[in-house]
Amino acid sequence: MSVILIMIPVALVLAGLGILAFIVAAKSGQFDDLDTPAIRAVFDDEPTPTEHPRGKEPNDEQD
């Protein structure tokens, strides 16, 4: 029975910390744009100047 007297306050403190973390994240704009990061993964990156546009070096002759 004495364990429950420790576990209930600990659980309430942890729940309060979780709610506080959610409120801080929401106020800082963490949840403002949920669609763009998922769409950004679909787009291809621009090729770098050292990379050939098709992904192969010009001297690679693979068929």
% of the chain exceeding 70 in pLDDT = 71
pLDDT score, position 4: 94
Amino acid of residue 38: A
Average pLDDT value for the chain:
81
Q: How far apart are the first and last CA of the chain?
A: 74
Alpha helices (H) in the chain, listed in sequence order: 2-27, 36-40
pLDDT score, position 37: 76
Cβ-Cβ contacts under 8 Å for 55 (sequence gap 6 or more): 47
Rounded Cα gap, residues 58 and 61, in angstroms: 8
The tens digit of pLDDT for each residue in 30-59 reads 888 878 877 877 777 776 666 555 666 556
pLDDT score, position 31: 85
Cβ(25)–Cβ(31) below 8 Å: yes
Question: Higher confidence at residue 13 or residue 33?
Answer: 13
